Structure 1
Amino acid sequence: MVEAVDIRAVLADVAGYGPFFEVMTNPAERVDPTWRPMADLYTDPEPLRARIAHVRRVLDGADDRVAASIAFQGLAARILSAPLAVVILHGALPLLTARSLHWRVSVTGPWPLWAADPAAEPLPADPAAAARAFTDLLVEEHLAPLVAAVRAQVRISERLLWGNAASSVAAGKRLIGTGRPAAAARAARIAGAVLDRGPFTGSGERLPPSPPDVEWTFRRRSCCLYYRVEGGGICGDCVLGAARAQS
Structure 2
Amino acid sequence: MPLGALVLPHFVDLDPSLTALHRLGGFFVLRTAGGADRSLPTLARTSGPGRPDVHGDLPTTRVRRVADALGTPEERVAASVAQQGLAARLWSVALGSAALHGAVPDLAPPLLRWDPEAGAPDDLWPAGARPLPGDAGTIARLVPHGHLEPLAGALRARHRIAPGLLRGNAASALAGAAREPDHWGRRHGRTDVSARARPPAAELLAHPSSPGPEP
Give the TM-score, by structure 1 length: 0.69
Residue 7 of structure 1 aligns with which residue? 11
Which runs of no fewer than 5 residues in structure 2 stay unpaired?
Answer: 51-56
Shift of 1:109: 2.3
**Cα deviation digits, residues 31-82 of structure 1 (max 9, x gap):** x233211111221441211211222222222522211111111111122211
- Cα gap change, 1:145 to 1:136, in 2 (>3 Å): same
2:35 alignment partner, one of 29, 38, 52: 29
Which runs of no fewer than 5 residues in structure 1 stay unpaired?
Answer: 124-129, 202-247
Structure 1 distance, partners of 2:178, 2:122, is 21
Structure 1 residue 66 corresponds to structure 2 residue 77: yes
- Cα gap change, 1:65 to 1:105, in 2 (>3 Å): closer
Structure 2 distance, partners of 1:184, 1:5, is 18
Structure 2 distance, partners of 1:65, 1:94, is 32
- Cα gap change, 1:178 to 1:102, in 2 (>3 Å): same
Paired AA for residue 122 in structure 2: W
**Cα deviation digits, residues 165-197 of structure 1 (max 9, x gap):** 111111112111221112345433321210222
Residue 84 of structure 1 aligns with which residue? 95
Structure 2 distance, partners of 1:132, 1:4, is 16
Shift of 1:106: 4.3
2:160 alignment partner, one of 155, 161, 169: 155
1:56 alignment partner, one of 42, 54, 67: 67
Identity %: 32
Shift of 1:6: 2.2
Structure 1 distance, partners of 2:150, 2:210, is 15
Paired AA for residue 178 in structure 2: K
Residue 116 of structure 1 aligns with which residue? 127
Query: Please, what is the CA RMSD of the aligned residues?
Result: 2.4
Structure 1 distance, partners of 2:133, 2:119, is 35
- Cα gap change, 1:105 to 1:156, in 2 (>3 Å): closer
Considering Cα pairs closer than 8 Å and 6+ residues apart, tell me whether 1 or 2 has the greater RCO: 2
Residue 47 of structure 1 aligns with which residue? 58
Paired AA for residue 107 in structure 2: L
Structure 1 residue 193 corresponds to structure 2 residue 203: yes
Structure 1 residue 138 corresponds to structure 2 residue 143: yes
Please give the secondary structure, in 1, of the residue aligned with 2:110.
Answer: coil
**Cα deviation digits, residues 108-147 of structure 1 (max 9, x gap):** 3223111122211245xxxxxx112211222221111111
Structure 1 distance, partners of 2:172, 2:35, is 31
Shift of 1:13: 1.2
| Residue correspondences, number | 193
Paired AA for residue 209 in structure 2: P
2:172 alignment partner, one of 167, 173, 186: 167
Please give the secondary structure, in 1, of the residue aligned with 2:152.
Answer: helix
Aligned pairs for 1:190-229 within 5 A: 190-197=200-207, 199=209
Structure 2 distance, partners of 1:18, 1:34, is 27
